[in-house]
Structure 1
């Protein structure tokens, strides 16, 4: 919803090719972690390119509430004067994490081994999402959690007075869970171990090493094992945040389905644990090219060019790829609607418990746009109509979910008839410049607030 609580209906329609340079925002995952780890140092961490979406701003306010000095010097230019590992102060008020599951779960982890209490809440979407997947392993350190039925926010975390190290195997492939446990392990003595069956995005491990923590990663019979040595003295850093591949997915996918398009996204993060969408699109026949490949701040980056690709074919996306592209399935399902044949997306039950039930949200909206979609509990299949073949003409429910809203607006840019979303307001949580960026490339987006 908008800042006054009223839905912001928005409509997209086809309007010729998309061309130009898409300067997408900084990576959201890295932005969250830079603020949190900066707060756990002693000294000043400088951050450039920070995403200034609502989710990240909520994390910045939370770090200030825990006692860190957080200062904005200019657009994307921030500093964090940290309090050291275990140095969080007890906040005076409730910590409101807005719409951000990443923010709340990582912050819970960071404070769970401090001898303080904190109460967390969020918007209606976040309050409906399960927190047990994080509070269960945090309890092993000695933390306690008291929340609403089903392990939902608002929730109070009572940090461990005498934390102990943990050896934990994650039951679901979740970078949020892994990261929460590793952040909690920072203030536990000895070694904390996390084992995951499938490797998830590794920004936390990379950044922990960059800040001076001892982190070992190895492949074992049970999967992927990360070992963190507790109670390091983290050193402040200078961090340049690469551009967010999850945000880049929207102009990239729009270019693939809008006739005549040619869009360049510079300085995009290509961490292999995040780049599954681009691999999948290439397998479908997308015209994607990577230029000026390099490494910045321990993260691989490149300039990505996307061109209209009328001959894309549906494929079966390997289930083991899900962890590297979990946030991109909504927009992939839109591209699949403009490909020939069926695109099968399996092993994606995690989509059921995101900001919304993303499988149901996309299936419902795509059907309203004239696309056949089959779904099971952990999969969905989109039966493509080919380039230009999606009828459109629907008003789709965003369900307070920024990625659902943006995905259907991209659909409208290539469909035969305009496509609307009932509320584009949530887009501000992760991609506040989405509308001016897309219109700058040639898209036509109109607001209708009734």
Structure 2
């Protein structure tokens, strides 16, 4: 059935509501990554533990959230494919807001012993389940309402919400870090988490105003919605597409969490100012918010594959120079490293990714297919990347093994692109866009 069977609601309203809702939810999720790098180690692990080992423990909790994300993808993919994208997104936001608020109320190891890290891990699991269902729904609310010749551009707005959430979380943590060190460790770190109460209310109101996806409504009217468990149908009918989605995710997600989370831990243990890196990350993410839209627009003009390949190959080229620039401790070079890593290399991939992954699956199982491929890969690429990177740094006392990780991620994603993009893919994409114009 044609994508235009049912009239589309105004894209401006959908974009505004989707981006703001996504940003508020990802604000909650990213808070843990920042806190894991800066405070969770000493607060939630036994006194006297080596600082690097304590940070590894905090990043292990970070990884737990990613392990839970495929479960969230399956659960909310089922809800989204059977009952609608909007319903799934409202539930994920509620779960994320409550879990994040409760993290702000947790006792520390000194106050509650091993119960403290246990509760932290449980709440991180809830965050992971919620975020596993968030990404696919956020993407589809935009891509399934967009004009066919502008899917890349409009789908890229969903990633703007992800960037906005990180910038917001980093900015709030930067502000509370201005408190005296003792106050920050005792109660200041809790404020960004407790602020989730307000975010929860605003986000639910915004999500409630979103219309349902046009493509989903069209499929439902044509009785094309799945009658079976969507996850089993995806694995039975589209296993190659799931693997391809995972491969696309490796370089994008692995690179992002090295640049975002591990870079702050690396700064902490190498004598580089963590506030300088945090400022650099915020600057890079603000710039990436604009570059994501550019890369999405460009993918509509020249094809998804050339743009994505630029991102994965540039990640490999930047793998070693990134840490060389950090090691100079020169603010300009630190900012340059983060700008090349995030708005340029990562931006080219994440700006193109929503539309490219969406093209791999049919409408009636698209939510589940997107969520499974996206979230299973996030366990290895995003969840364990900071933990493995910190372990490598602790073992080899240098960043070169982490650089090799980035090269490996980039190579695997580039090989995945070769399985998706035939020799005439780019020309066909341009011809299709020209025809639609």
| TM-score normalised according to structure 1 size | 0.24
Which protein has the bigger helix share?
2
| TM-score normalised according to structure 2 size | 0.25
Q: Which has the higher contact order (CA 8 A, sep 6+)?
A: 2
Which protein has the bigger strand share?
1
